[in-house]
Amino acid sequence: MDNSSVATLGVVRKTILITGASAGLGAEMARQFSAMGRTLALCARRAEELERLRSALPGPASVRVLDVTDHDAVFAVFGAFAAEFGTLDRVVVNAGIGKGRPIGTGGFAANRRTAETNFVAALAQAEAAMEIFRRQGHGHLVLVSSVSALRGLPGSATAYAATKAGVSALAEGIRADVLGTPIKVSAILPGYIRTELNARLRAPLMVDTVVGVRAMVRAIEREAPRALVPGWPWRVLAPVVRHAPLRVLKRVL
């Protein structure tokens, strides 16, 4: 059975854990899933923001403070949520940062932090989620990558794009391990989606938070193995991004 058949069979992932849930894409995913009647397990570094979000949600939610770069805490928090709810049906590995500097310009600390948060911490989250899913015999792992994963990017985006390419490859490898089982794996590749975290960014094809996250949620609900979101224009642009000469990409990105 492939991922796309799950929605057809009517499987509903009732209990959803989202990391990086205090702001941006994570907070909006929480709002939209809560409006769909799901029970949420939300974690992020900022307790006050998590509590503010939880109090505004229409449905049940539990919150725990988590810095995903604290790997022991990742396993502990995921395990505590699983024990609290009895099961975790879906885990959305969303926490990430976008800091970076061109390689070789003295920005190693920022690039290392990006790598540790976006890839190493994603690996820890995937490990913790998959241990739970393998034990309970079902689940849906969602890794939030980026359209930046399609190609190596210049300047301050180099390390970020590399981490997101790693996240996409991680998702595919895990999916290969569990093909034909009740454990499903999705890589979601958002394009430019406006959030409070990138409010000053002037990027082409930017969509607002609600619209962009609605596309993400639809892809997650389909349990698509890999989804570029919003589908328009990114499904059309993806081949261009992958194959355009680097000198062209450097001018437009």
Q: Where are the domains of the chain?
A: 4-252
pLDDT digits (tens, 9 = 90+) for 87-145: 999 999 999 998 899 999 999 999 999 999 999 999 999 999 999 999 999 999 999 99
Among 33, 78, 85, 160, the one annotated catalytic: 160
Q: Is 192 a catalytic residue?
A: no
CATH code, 4-252: 3.40.50.720
List, in sequence order, every residue forming a beta bridge with 116; answer none if it has no partner: none
Q: Where are the alpha helices (DSSP H) in the chain?
A: 4-8, 24-35, 47-56, 71-85, 108-115, 121-136, 158-178, 209-222, 231-243, 246-252
How far out from the chain centre does Cα 215 lie?
A: 13
**How close are the terminal C-alpha atoms of the chain, in Å?**
39
User: What's residue 247's pLDDT?
Assistant: 81
Question: So what's the pLDDT on residue 245?
Answer: 85
- State residue 202's pLDDT score: 64
| Separation of alpha carbons 180 and 182, rounded Å | 7
| Residue 35 confidence (pLDDT) | 98
Segments of the chain scoring below 70 in pLDDT: 1-10, 196-204, 250, 252-253
Instruction: Write down the pLDDT at residue 249.
Output: 73
